Structure 1
Amino acid sequence: MGVDTKKVVLAVGLATFTGVALYLLYKKNDEDDELEMYAADTATSRHTLIEMVIPRNAVGFVIGRQGANVKEIQEITNTRINFKDPGGPTDDRVCVIRGKAENAQEAERLIQRAIAEQPKLLTINISVPQRACGRIIGRNGDSIREMCAVSGAKIIVDREFRTPADGMRLITIKGTEDQLSTAKQLIQTKVEEEEAMQRRIELSAANRAPRTKHKPDAGKSQGAGDQPVPTRESLVATGADGYLEVYVSAVDTPGHFWVQVKSPRAIELDKLVERMTEFYSEESNRNMYKLKKVAVGDVVAAPFPYDSSWYRAEVTELAENDSDPDQTALTVYYVDFGDTDTVQRRQAAELRTDFLGLSHQAVECFLSGVKPSGCSWTDAAGDCFEELTYAAQWKSVMAKVVRYQQAGSRKVPVVELVDTNSELDVDVAKELVKRGHAVWAKSGATGSREASPACCS
């Protein structure tokens, strides 16, 4: 390469370096200008933080349902709003507002206005019939939760039922005036639905013919092989909480008897008996469902010897007739009423499968707190008990489960019975003692056979 060529290359190199240097200088100046502009803008838009105390009873209203109110204030004022965790369950909350000074102040003003305008919270107490509480609360609390959601009010049913005399239970409602009004209307609708159902139940009971008094055969009426008689879930669930309306359907002794729960199931049972009676009254149907074989523990269709109706019955004992199997004597326990009686095999029939759907309605019970005044319960004591409880007359009394007692393989509810059909309540156990048919038992004893005095052994 010649000297002239080297000079050209050097000149080009110097020119390139000079251009790059000038570019970097100008770029730095531009960046400095941008930084100064950002700093100036930041100085004029610095965020302000405002903390304000919110009364505990106003926090929910300020936040709104699912945060709707506080979100709206944030959008209007272009701020960020948060709440600090309280120091304790009764402390007020601290609201933190972040944003431009004028925006934060506007958000503070809107929150203060919301607090001032929040509806006044009220608390009222209302009384409803005890028997309507199940419908108000609903299965697993579904009904009362729905009413709370619809009305916006808080609805609390008193857990204690202390007034069996008037049959009422207290309900507390908390909320705004509008929420209280809506909640009361929803509760009243449930009460009216229950009253309408009760009228249908009472009409159904009024149409029942009184069952001829026939005492169950103690020891055979418990079901085959001393198996547990199906117990109504409603009696178990309600008994721990208060009183329940029942019909005394069958009596062994004043200390040992059966009840049916007064509920919509009573209407279902009447319809079932009507359908069974209509079906098995036809000879052709009985022949179609003739008992070809039968064993202890089978549930069959059987007539009751003292009326013209057909019922579901469990075979508890067989007395074989080798010369004529159709005349084999079946001791049967009527699972929906508690009676026990004897019918011939030819009089009974196989139970059609669609008649099995309804749970057994008879609930075996012991009377709480008393035992016979003598060695055993007398006929006079039995007659007195049947009179006091309207046995098999389909007039209800109040029952309360106080505990359960083991009887063979069964856990039998031990109950108090109170007649509330007149102006003065009548405690059945107290009345038996007052009339000389019973004495008070030791704590834990019942009026069942097991509680009889030692002279009976």
Structure 2
Amino acid sequence: MNERKFVLLAVTAVGSSLCLYYVIRKTSKKEYHIVFDGSQVESMTVELKLQTSFLPFLFGQKGDTLKKIEDKTNTVINFRCCKDEKYAICSISGFQSNVKLAEDLIKEAEGNYLKIGRSEISVPEEKLDLVLGRNLDNFNQIQQESGAVILFERRTYISKKVGGFRKFIIKGTPEQMLKAKNIIENVIENNRSGIERNRIEEFSSEGHTSKDFPSKGPEDCNAFTWVQGREMITEILNNTEDYIDVFVSAVASPDKFWIQIAGPLTSVLDNLVTEMTSFYREENNASQYRISVPNIGAIVAAIFPADGEYYRGAIMKLDDEKKTVSVFFVDFGDSDEVPQSEVFELLPEFSQLRFQAIECQLGGVLPRDLSWSSEAIEDFGLLSLCAQWKELRLKVLKHRSVTGRPTPIPVVKLVNPEGEKAADISEELIRKGHAVEEDINLV
């Protein structure tokens, strides 16, 4: 990932990765061996050169497809980048027969990927909201259920027979394309015939549009983490017994910091940033979608001045005299002042991915003084590996309700798994004299 400077009180971590898949499949140190008559047989490793465009297909939703291959074959599968960014090296480690089986399964998946085709379906303009849903909930669920990749064109076409309509482009295997088409047609038909839209209800999950966001100043910027939607929050809330892998992306203090869940969505976000940057750097696109009159609360595409790339953000404050806006970057949790001329309309195709930043509070500790000192915040940023894109282990201890917030804030335990002994970050803050222990049950 591109490195961003560690800034006191606002540790930032917006960046993209040239080596997209390292963060997805961290190299395992596990070794396979078996003893026959006192002799040791070590595992073998086979390497495959795969197109990087194929990897999301291989990973599947949340890495499930790849995990199934590993579990079925009892192998460890890792990835590293090639000099040619169009390819990645896939290494498969395990016993010979297992490695061969995993190799065959991956090649079979690659064959299915090469069969991917393209089809179109027209959606009447008046039915568009049914298919998309609030905050694209229905649209995202259709992709997830069908396994197809679906895009929709910004342009509205006019037909004498059906009036205005949008073209939806469906990419996938024949089975995936057919399933996506059937789902979309059912959604449209159910509404047209007056049948109860249980298909829509099945797809919908509570989400938020820009109209739901509070239009207040920077002190309320954490309210914009609401828009990450239910998938990300639910994943944490429903896994309170388990540790999950996360990155700490931004820090204000141990009481307020932001995480991203480590996994396939990391590379999806990196690709999104690359696509947005390429799009908004085009002068024709910039002139067409530049926002002349920004509004507080609007979700936009904005440049991050430190690296010149474009990210999704929420406008928090306007400075008419300086012609700047304060932007809260919703995928990372940090904020920055951005020239008004570098703020653009966020197009629908850049809105499909859920906002990734999740606000958390460190559990089990209180500041030694009335508030966290600058030294404590700096040490917490270092201990949490903020902006270093190294995985920590996170466990939700409980949740803290906040007035005016639709979802509670997770109070969490953070552990750095590296080194001979895993380090509990709350205990490290206490050891360094920055914090005192607190009974988590009283939080």
Q: Which residue of 2 aligns with 1:284?
A: 284
Q: Unaligned regions of 5+ residues in structure 2, if any?
A: 1-59, 86-216
Residues 385-436 of structure 1, C-alpha deviation per residue, up to 9 Å, x if partnerless? Answer: 1111110110010001111111232211111000101110100001100110
Q: Unaligned regions of 5+ residues in structure 1, if any?
A: 1-137, 144-184, 205-216, 322-326, 447-457
RMSD, aligned CA: 3.2
SS of 1:252's equivalent?
Answer: strand
Give yes or no for the alignment of 1:413 onto 2:296. no
After superposition, residues 231-242 of structure 1 pair within 5 angstroms as 232-233=232-233, 235-237=235-237, 239-242=239-242
Contact 2:368 2:434 in 1 (8 A): yes
Give yes or no for the alignment of 1:188 onto 2:71. yes
Equivalent in 417, 436, 439 of residue 436 of structure 2 = 439
Q: Which residue of 2 aligns with 1:390?
A: 385
- TM-score w.r.t. the length of structure 1 is 0.49
Cα 1:365–1:358 shift into 2, 3 Å: same
Residues 88-147 of structure 1, C-alpha deviation per residue, up to 9 Å, x if partnerless? Answer: xxxxxxxxxxxxxxxxxxxxxxxxxxxxxxxxxxxxxxxxxxxxxxxxxx99xx99xxxx
Contact 1:222 1:229 in 2 (8 A): no
Between Structure 1 and Structure 2, how many residues are aligned?
Answer: 246
Deviation at 1:229, TM superposition (A): 5.2
Deviation at 1:305, TM superposition (A): 2.0
After superposition, residues 323-334 of structure 1 pair within 5 angstroms as 328-334=323-329
Q: Which residue of 1 aligns with 2:318?
A: 318
SS of 1:349's equivalent?
Answer: strand
Contact 2:291 2:345 in 1 (8 A): yes
Cα 1:238–1:199 shift into 2, 3 Å: farther
Cα 1:438–1:245 shift into 2, 3 Å: same
Q: Partners of 1:280 and 1:229 in 2: how far apart?
A: 23
Q: Partners of 1:187 and 1:397 in 2: how far apart?
A: 23
Cα 1:227–1:316 shift into 2, 3 Å: farther
Deviation at 1:238, TM superposition (A): 5.2
Residues 36-74 of structure 1, C-alpha deviation per residue, up to 9 Å, x if partnerless? Answer: xxxxxxxxxxxxxxxxxxxxxxxxxxxxxxxxxxxxxxx
Q: Partners of 2:74 and 2:404 in 1: how far apart?
A: 39
Q: Could you say which structure has the higher helix fraction?
A: 1
Q: Which residue of 2 aligns with 1:269?
A: 269
Q: Which residue of 1 aligns with 2:330?
A: 335
SS of 1:239's equivalent?
Answer: coil
Q: Partners of 2:275 and 2:228 in 1: how far apart?
A: 24
Cα 1:191–1:378 shift into 2, 3 Å: farther
Q: Partners of 1:316 and 1:200 in 2: how far apart?
A: 39
Moved over 6 A (4+): none
Deviation at 1:335, TM superposition (A): 0.6
Letter in 2 for 1:300: V
Q: Which has the higher contact order (CA 8 A, sep 6+)?
A: 2
Q: Partners of 2:432 and 2:398 in 1: how far apart?
A: 26
Cα 1:295–1:237 shift into 2, 3 Å: same
Q: Partners of 2:242 and 2:356 in 1: how far apart?
A: 20
Contact 2:413 2:426 in 1 (8 A): yes
Cα 1:223–1:190 shift into 2, 3 Å: farther
After superposition, residues 183-222 of structure 1 pair within 5 angstroms as 188-189=71-72, 192=75, 196=77, 199=79, 219-222=219-222
Q: Partners of 1:417 and 1:434 in 2: how far apart?
A: 15
Q: Which residue of 1 aligns with 2:363?
A: 368
Q: Which residue of 1 aligns with 2:249?
A: 249
Deviation at 1:352, TM superposition (A): 1.7
Contact 1:223 1:314 in 2 (8 A): no
Deviation at 1:223, TM superposition (A): 3.5
**Greater C-alpha radius of gyration:** 1
SS of 2:399's equivalent?
Answer: strand
Cα 1:282–1:223 shift into 2, 3 Å: farther
Percent of counterpart pairs with the same letter? 33
Contact 2:227 2:355 in 1 (8 A): no
